[in-house]
Amino acid sequence: MSQTARSAGNSNQQRTFMTRLKKNYIGWIFILLSVLGIGLFYFYPMVQAFLLSLRSGMGANLEFVGFDNYVRLFSDPTFITSLTNTFIYLLVQVPVMILLALFFSVLLNDPKLKFRGFFRTAIFLPAVTSLVAYAVIFKYLFGNDGLVNEFLLGMNLISTPLNWLSDPVLAKITIIIAITWRWTGYNMIFYLSALQNVDKSMYEAARIDGASSIQQFFFITIPLLKPIILFTSIVSTIGTLQLFDEVMNITNGGPGNATMSISMYIYNLSFEYTPDFGYAATVSYVIVVLVVILSFLQFRVAGDRD
Amino acid sequence: MKKIKRFLIYLFLSIAAIVSIFPFLWMLISMTNKSVDVTGGRLIPGSHFLENLRNLFATVEIGTALMNSFIIAIITTILTLLIGSLAGYGFEIYRTKGKDMIFNILLLSMMIPFAAIMIPLYRFFGQVSSVAPAIGIDTLAAAILPTIITAFFIFFFRQNTKMFAKDLVEAGRIDGLSELGIFFRIYLPTMKTTYAAAAIIAFMNSWNNYLWPLVVLQSPENQTIPLLISNLGAGYTPDYGVIMTAIVIATLPTALVFFLMQRHFVAGMMGSVKG
């Protein structure tokens, strides 16, 4: 190769290198705002919250106490109650809702079913409501002289009105019913879309082998939808760990602290009781740890075998 | 046997549909009834709608709250879409190892619960107040700022950019467009459906947001619709007809958005999980 050709090749290489460098640099401009924003509004506050969790005191007078706040968690009855409540919501509500949503989606996936569009839209409808608005409606529906009691009395299922909102167990059930009402249709849509990609011949084969619909549901549908079930259960778990709007507006945490969620306790510690931002930050780190552990566990349980 | 099974399926789905729709029907009916009739369990429409509406506007600043909610939701939606799509496009089109790593770190922020960063954010905006009161505590700007940049929308736009024909970028370069020009003149117009889906989700999230506005907006003239409804619902002598009217007004924009753009909405939800 002649000298000139080689230098031309070199400068060509140099030029493509320069344009690549330039493009790379322009690429950073596109993402700059997002990187700064998420750093400023997510990661920086996370660090701040941790530093805050090592301090204690009222209002602005905070002093360093090391891990005292973390020790305090174990002897704080309200914290333990709100943690237990959150776990009850999680363990009861998420599986019930996901099973219901799966069940609806399988029924609605049948092309021979009449009024499919109507059923689908109706069941999805709750997902368009604002959390506060539906919470207030549920508070009235489940009130002592609310329509739920009137209906149950009218059907002769109960003889005296149930104290949905003032009985510790029933109040938790009310919260669980409310969340399930709001989110089942939302999850159903994910499963319905996923079912559209499922190979119908698998069901044919199963039917020929004599598998009942229920067997088909548990041994074909659920395994096939595993990735999307994993996704929705992680999203629901994170959502339930952060439960706030419903508890605040349906029961206000009561009776006593029987329905208090962790998020609501954090809110109360910061803005309702005498503010103790340090301890509130400590409690909030419990949610962070739980989100990380539970997401990890769900990945292990559901993701491993694939 | 088969007939019984079909009957049970229809029965089950009908009950589910009734349970899902009933609260909506009830609020629409109650909006037209007197407070005593609402608590009395009246399930037929009455003639008190205009009176409820008048009382609602007379007792609370619902006009202001509607205005605030619209301002917040519209600005949030526009900025979320702009910043999120710029980043999603940037991560996908100018892909490098370094950027992929940053992308994964940004995704981690989706696992951060809001309650965990709420207090530092509140204190942060408290400090901002003393320097720039216009964007400090108790301003609409403070309600908007932490909500516009989310990993979810960056992820969403990156996923959808994977389906964008990259040849168009080269074609734009040959035509002499700048890199930003390509984004605004070629990418943005071709990705209308993606933007529509993102807009619905962003608008609904913002319109319904409760906890952060509750923390950061304190004066009544900065109230948003969810705050107003929450306050109405917590009152000691609630006027149920009035509250139901307020709830219907609050639900109307998101329900409308949903019904007008149902297809995009579902596409948008799915876009967030596609591989």
Average pLDDT, chain B: 87
Nearest CB partner across the interface for B247, out of A42, A133, A242: A133
Region A110-125: what's the mean pLDDT? 88
DSSP single-letter state for residue A243: -
Whether B114 contacts B212, CB under 8 Å: yes
Phi/psi-derived region of residue B45, left when phi > 0, alpha when psi is between -120 and 50, beta in every other case: beta
How far does Cα B170 stand from its chain's mean position? 35
Pick the CATH number of A68-303 from 2.40.50.140, 3.40.50.150, 1.10.520.10, 1.10.3720.10: 1.10.3720.10
- Residue B268, pLDDT above cutoff 70: no
Query: Between the CA of residue B88 and those of A115, A306, B59, what are the distances in Å?
Result: 39, 29, 45
Task: Tell if the CB–CB gap between A133 and B154 is shorter than 8 Å.
Answer: no
pLDDT at B81: 95
- Residue A303, pLDDT above cutoff 70: no
Domain segments of chain A as ranges: 3-47, 68-303
Q: Where are the beta strands (DSSP E) in B24-180?
A: none
Whether A262 contacts A283, CB under 8 Å: yes
- Residue A193, pLDDT above cutoff 50: yes
Task: Tell if the CB–CB gap between A37 and B12 is shorter than 8 Å.
Answer: no
Region B180-199: what's the mean pLDDT? 88
What is the C-alpha to C-alpha distance for residues B242 and B240, in angstroms, rounded to an integer? 5
Q: Does B100 touch chain A (CB under 8 A)?
A: no
Residue B40 binned pLDDT confidence (cut-offs 50, 70, 90): confident
Whether B96 contacts B250, CB under 8 Å: no
- Residue A100, pLDDT above cutoff 90: yes
Task: Count CB-CB contacts under 10 A for residue B50.
Answer: 10
Q: Does B112 touch chain A (CB under 8 A)?
A: yes
Nearest CB partner across the interface for A263, out of B115, B121, B148: B115
Q: For the segment B200-221, what is each residue's pLDDT rounded down to a tens digit?
A: 889 988 999 999 999 999 888 9
Q: Which of A295, A224, A269, A33 is nearest to B80 (CA)?
A: A33
- Residue A34, pLDDT above cutoff 90: yes
Nearest CB partner across the interface for B99, out of A31, A119, A241: A31
What is the C-alpha to C-alpha distance for residues A237 and A90, in angstroms, rounded to an integer? 7
Q: Does B144 touch chain A (CB under 8 A)?
A: no
Task: Count CB-CB contacts under 10 A for residue A230.
Answer: 17
pLDDT at A226: 85
Query: Between the CA of residue A303 and those of A187, A225, A238, A300, B67, what are the distances in Å?
Result: 19, 12, 18, 5, 46
- Any bridge partners for residue A56, and if so which? A63
pLDDT over 70, % of chain A: 91
Query: Between the CA of residue A305 and those of A131, A226, A300, A302, what are the distances in Å?
Result: 37, 11, 9, 7
pLDDT at A305: 46
Q: Which of B185, B158, B162, B189 is nearest to B173 (CA)?
A: B185
ipTM value, please give it: 0.86
Enumerate residues 38 to 67 of chain A having a beta carbon within 8 A of any beta carbon in chain B: 38, 41-46, 48-49, 52
Substitution target in A22, A26, A36, A41 with the highest count of B β-carbons within 10 Å is A41
Nearest CB partner across the interface for A130, out of B95, B117, B250: B250
- Residue A6, pLDDT above cutoff 90: no
Give every CB contact of residue B25 below 8 A, 6+ residues apart in sequence: none
Q: Give the residue with greater pLDDT, A23 vs A82.
A: A82
Nearest CA in chain B to A112: B6
pLDDT at B270: 65
Q: Which of A26, A3, A7, A5 is nearest to A15 (CA)?
A: A7
What architecture (CATH level 2) is domain B60-271? Orthogonal Bundle (1.10)
- Residue A7, pLDDT above cutoff 60: no
Q: For the segment B79-127, what is each residue's pLDDT rounded down to a tens digit?
A: 999 999 999 999 998 888 889 999 999 988 888 888 889 999 999 999 8
pLDDT at A126: 92
Contacts of A34 in chain B (CB under 8 A): 83-84, 86-87, 106, 149, 154
